Structure 1
Amino acid sequence: MSSRHAVAPARSVDDHRHGIEDLLRPLAAREIDSVPVPRALGRRLAQDVFSPLDLPVFRNSAMDGYAVRADSLRTVPVTLPLAGVIAAGNTGELVLAEGSALKIMTGAPLPAGADCVVPVEHTRTDGDTVTIETARAAGDFVREPGKDVRTGQLLAAAGTLLLPRHIAALAAVGLAELPVTRRVRAAVLTTGDELVPAGVPLLPGQIYNSNGIALAAALTDNGVDVVSVAHSTDDPAEFRQRLAEATAAADVVFTSGGVSMGDFEVVKDVLAELGGRFGPVAIQPGGPQGLTVVDGVPVLSFPGNPVSTLVSFEVFARPILRDLAALPPIPTSEVPLLDPIRSPAGRRQFLRGTLTPDGVTLPTGSGSHLIVAMAHADVLIDIDPDVTELPAGALVRVQPL
């Protein structure tokens, strides 16, 4: 057997994942981006953000009703003359004359001289008068300036993952942009003479390139900015060129294909010369894996079978990428098997499964090329390497896809 095809001892799944985490953890110290508030959803604040103003900004009505002086309601019912209407957005300086009422809409500024609002449902109108049937105290149904937040008060702390409720508060105080941690930038590079883009008629021996699209979707779904998706044939010179373009644009590069034991493994051949570590991991699917640092940029190399590519991403890359994006970890749980299973000794198997109210079942077909079968799965079933078979009813770990 040639040295090219010598088989190194298989690394454990945890060992390989920790190696990836060690390479990507320094990306936590990324620079700050300034993004418009409407585009800040799902981003992580890089700095504390303080309110530039009081909110509410001015005294305003909490109800549709009538602005009056509480002193006018000492005896009820009482009929008062109507002096006009104040709509939300009114910018004029209105003054309430003593002994009168002004009709007012929710959110409209309270006129000078008024100190409470009577809800419309507690009144009766008759032409130019309103009869108020319930007494009110000063301050009733009035929103005072700064009741919600004061100028200089902390709105959101550094590290906050911005959810819709945060966006609402930050927009309400008039902020246009926010300081956020720049997202991790990733490039995807697929390889293989057999791959062609969608829309091109297939020749014998060709298949459509799904891995580039799938990896880009998985990265985006986990808080990563995909800066490029490229493809290289099995020509080493072309791969070197595409790799140089990817590492120049990204914080991390994901390759797919070219890492196994065949005669045309361009990724392994090129990256091994640059110090890349290639070899088997005790996992099924996705055994052939590679890790390299090229010009300071981590390059994660996954096998080219579509299911192997996606399972590799889910198991090895998704946890650290979600952590870097300040997204919550994917929870695991234990559920009963609905079908008996067999698993190869010595390899940690990740079977595709479908959750039901009664447990987890296996879609038909477990081959690493069966990407459509994987589309019908919604969890990975995690089987320890020392387990070779499990009966129906056994509890197994599952993680959502």
Structure 2
Amino acid sequence: MSELGPSPLAAGDKNLSVAEARAAIAASLTPIAGDETVDLPEALGRVLAQDLLSPIDVPAHDNSAMDGYAFDGALLRDDAPLDLPVQGTVYAGQPFAGVPDRLAALRIMTGAVMPPGHDTVVPQELASAGDGRVRIEPGAVRRGDNRRRRGEDLSAGRPALHAGRLLRPADMGLIASLGIESVRVRRRLRVALFSTGDELRSPGQALDAGCVYDSNRSSLRAALQRLGVEVVDLGLVPDDPAALQATLEQAIAQADAVLTSGGVSVGEADHTRALLARLGEVAFWKVAMRPGRPFAFGPLRAADGGPRWLFALPGNPVAALVTFYVFAREALLQLAGATPQPLPVLRARSVAPIRKRPGRTEFQRAVVSPGTEGWQVQTTGTQGAGILRSMSEANALLVLGHEQGSVAAGEFVDVWLFDGLA
């Protein structure tokens, strides 16, 4: 056993299920160390490093949830209307300056501080006002209605957000509402990315006979950017042991994780397996899934003794992106220190029958749309692993489980929305 410990799952030639592979990856990973303080405008998409405690009560005072009239709810009666003089008006940001009369109402605006002794607000549309008085009919409101209590959203000293939170736009507003201008976040995860293959060319280069443009790096780089990680793009690497070793060593020195697509994932060449054995303990897996069966994962040894995790994806463009979503996306968020969140799954009716044999998980490119009986889904057509256009046309992955068989038209199926994978 090396200093890195045993391989996460030395599968050998065994076909792993998607669930087994995902579980093995999750069990292997520990979040990276390191954090920093950033100003609030820079915090979107970052992972909160510690619980964020509220320095104030939210709201900071009892206030009105409506434009209307504030009064003492104890005056309400079930058998008679309430008719009160209107003493004045209370505006948001301008507490009532006088002494409220318990037997009078006050015109009040949304967000204004509730005057002492006034615990209820009748919305203006439920009251009759005129000649300096307001009339409230029986049953229009109950005592305490339309009053937001001090601290009902957050009380001072309590966590507003917990460590591990991947900060979203609404969180930015919440933090700002507490008067906090900077937050402590985990440092950004650094992911090195490269594609392997003698046949690959970068966009802008001449396309020699038998060659193709590398699309994987562009799609995977975009997927990484949506996770908020720092991408170290190491370009194209030829099918050459020395070049591969040099690139992997560069990746290990510069990043926390390494994401590749192409030949390194297949592991058929002895030099590839031997190289990865020298650099770490990468396991080559045959995963029972379509597309994306060949996949490699494991730790590479860094000079500081810590692991640099390798995710080696298939070379086919669709397979590369699907295996990224299935295996790498949540793992990278886990490495970044984000609290794991179950992936949202939509249930939709299949528009057409789908052929499928049990014993593997299938991810089909699909389009989800509203139907007459709720959400419906249909595939984009031919599902070849190299047809990237179908991935671009789709807005979701239709997921057929390991033990699931063929699907009849009208049956419900699981769907991963691409926007949910961001």
TM-score, normalization by structure 2: 0.66
Q: Structure 1 residues 397, 209: closer, same or farther in 2, change over 3 A?
A: same
Q: Is the 8 A contact 2:225 2:231 kept in 1?
A: no
Please list the CA deviations of residues 57-109 of structure 1 after superposition, one character each: whole Å capped at 9, or x if unmatched: 234444334567899999964556x66x5432337x72247698764422234
**Residue 63 of structure 1: which of 63, 66, 69 is its match?**
66
Q: Structure 1 residues 66, 282: closer, same or farther in 2, change over 3 A?
A: closer
Counterpart Cα distance in 1 of 2:325 and 2:360: 14
In the TM superposition, residue 231 of structure 1 has moved relative to its aligned partner by: 0.9
Which amino acid counterpart does residue 369 of structure 1 have in structure 2?
G
Aligned positions of 1:373-392 closer than 5 A: 373-376=390-393, 378-381=397-400
Q: Which residue of 2 aligns with 1:294?
A: 301
Q: Is the 8 A contact 1:383 1:396 kept in 2?
A: no
Counterpart Cα distance in 2 of 1:34 and 1:300: 30
Unaligned runs of 5+ in 2: 1-10
Which amino acid counterpart does residue 317 of structure 2 have in structure 1?
P
Q: Structure 1 residues 229, 22: closer, same or farther in 2, change over 3 A?
A: same
Q: Is the 8 A contact 2:188 2:230 kept in 1?
A: no
Work out whether 1:304 is the aligned partner of 2:318: no
In the TM superposition, residue 52 of structure 1 has moved relative to its aligned partner by: 1.4
**Residue 174 of structure 1: which of 153, 156, 179 is its match?**
179
Counterpart Cα distance in 1 of 2:136 and 2:377: 62
Q: Is the 8 A contact 1:87 1:104 kept in 2?
A: yes
Counterpart Cα distance in 1 of 2:105 and 2:365: 68
Identical aligned residues as a percent: 32
Please list the CA deviations of residues 331-367 of structure 1 after superposition, one character each: whole Å capped at 9, or x if unmatched: 5989988244579xxx957463547889987654444
Q: Is the 8 A contact 1:43 1:161 kept in 2?
A: yes
Which range moved further: 30-39 or 46-55? 30-39
In the TM superposition, residue 287 of structure 1 has moved relative to its aligned partner by: 4.7
Which amino acid counterpart does residue 293 of structure 1 have in structure 2?
L
Work out whether 1:225 is the aligned partner of 2:244: no
Q: Which residue of 1 aligns with 2:200?
A: 195
Q: Structure 1 residues 111, 227: closer, same or farther in 2, change over 3 A?
A: same
Q: Which residue of 2 aligns with 1:89?
A: 93
Q: Which residue of 1 aligns with 2:134?
A: 132
Work out whether 1:215 is the aligned partner of 2:220: yes
Q: Structure 1 residues 78, 317: closer, same or farther in 2, change over 3 A?
A: closer
Q: Structure 1 residues 134, 365: closer, same or farther in 2, change over 3 A?
A: closer
Q: Structure 1 residues 365, 197: closer, same or farther in 2, change over 3 A?
A: same
Counterpart Cα distance in 2 of 1:361 and 1:101: 60
Work out whether 1:338 is the aligned partner of 2:353: yes
Work out whether 1:327 is the aligned partner of 2:341: yes
Work out whether 1:186 is the aligned partner of 2:191: yes
Aligned length: 379
Counterpart Cα distance in 1 of 2:46 and 2:85: 55
Counterpart Cα distance in 1 of 2:144 and 2:354: 67
In the TM superposition, residue 306 of structure 1 has moved relative to its aligned partner by: 1.5
In the TM superposition, residue 297 of structure 1 has moved relative to its aligned partner by: 0.9
Q: Is the 8 A contact 2:224 2:231 kept in 1?
A: no
Q: Is the 8 A contact 1:61 1:107 kept in 2?
A: yes
Work out whether 1:249 is the aligned partner of 2:260: no
Counterpart Cα distance in 1 of 2:121 and 2:379: 64
Q: Is the 8 A contact 1:95 1:111 kept in 2?
A: no
Counterpart Cα distance in 1 of 2:153 and 2:357: 60
Structure number with larger C-alpha Rg: 1
Unaligned runs of 5+ in 1: 1-7
Work out whether 1:206 is the aligned partner of 2:217: no
Task: Please give the secondary structure, in 1, of the residue aligned with 2:263.
Answer: coil
Which amino acid counterpart does residue 209 of structure 1 have in structure 2?
D
Please list the CA deviations of residues 302-343 of structure 1 after superposition, one character each: whole Å capped at 9, or x if unmatched: 232213322433444345446553221465989988244579
In the TM superposition, residue 299 of structure 1 has moved relative to its aligned partner by: 1.8
Q: Structure 1 residues 399, 59: closer, same or farther in 2, change over 3 A?
A: closer
Which amino acid counterpart does residue 151 of structure 1 have in structure 2?
A
Aligned positions of 1:94-105 closer than 5 A: 94-96=97-99, 103-105=107-109
Counterpart Cα distance in 1 of 2:378 and 2:142: 65
TM-score, normalization by structure 1: 0.68
Task: Please give the secondary structure, in 1, of the residue aligned with 2:219.
Answer: helix
Q: Which residue of 2 aligns with 1:27?
A: 30
Q: Is the 8 A contact 2:17 2:287 kept in 1?
A: no
Q: Is the 8 A contact 2:199 2:212 kept in 1?
A: yes
Counterpart Cα distance in 2 of 1:351 and 1:109: 55
Please list the CA deviations of residues 26-49 of structure 1 after superposition, one character each: whole Å capped at 9, or x if unmatched: 323644454555666666654333
Q: Structure 1 residues 229, 61: closer, same or farther in 2, change over 3 A?
A: same
Which range moved further: 155-164 or 290-299? 155-164
Which range moved further: 53-62 or 358-367? 358-367
